């Protein structure tokens, strides 16, 4: 069972992802991505979907034209876990 990040471990993980914002209501992290157009945005989503399926860890997200908004949180832990941090890093590397 995956566990929620706590204390210093959580603080360090959040500090290591400066482009992501902690979302306290869901205890997740969010980031908004902007692209030249819809095709680029959807291509990015396709790449993220492949990563997410491999990791068995899935984003909550929405897309409007050239923008993709992502929230990462761990349902199985009821909040932020290392899985969210790892997926955020992998997503950042794609952008």
Ligand X SMILES: C[C@H](O)[C@H](O)[C@H]1CNC2=NC(N)=NC(=O)C2=N1
Select from 42, 58, 66, 86 the one that contacts ligand X (CB under 6 A). 58
Tokens of 31: 């980031």
The verdict on 25 binding ligand X (CB under 6 A) reads no
> For the sheet containing 67-72, what is the strand order?
21-23, 28-34, 67-72, 60-64
Instruction: Pick the closest to residue 61 from 31, 92, 36, 40 (CA basis).
Output: 31
Binding span for ligand X by CB under 6 A among 11-19, 30-38, 41-49, 55-63: 55-63
- Residue count at the site for ligand X (CB under 6 A)? 6
Q: Provide the binding-site residues for ligand X, judged by CB under 6 A.
A: 56-58, 74-76
């Amino acid at each position: 069972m995956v566990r929620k990040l706590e204390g210093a471990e959580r603080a360090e993980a959040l500090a290591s992802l400066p482009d992501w914002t902690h979302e306290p209501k869901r205890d997740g992290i969010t980031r908004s991505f902007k692209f030249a157009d819809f095709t680029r945005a959807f291509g990015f989503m396709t790449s993220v979907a492949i990563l997410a399926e491999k990791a068995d860890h899935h984003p909550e997200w929405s897309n409007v034209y050239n923008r993709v908004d992502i929230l990462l949180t761990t349902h199985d832990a009821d909040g932020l876990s290392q899985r969210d941090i790892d997926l955020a890093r992998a997503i950042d590397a794609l952008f």
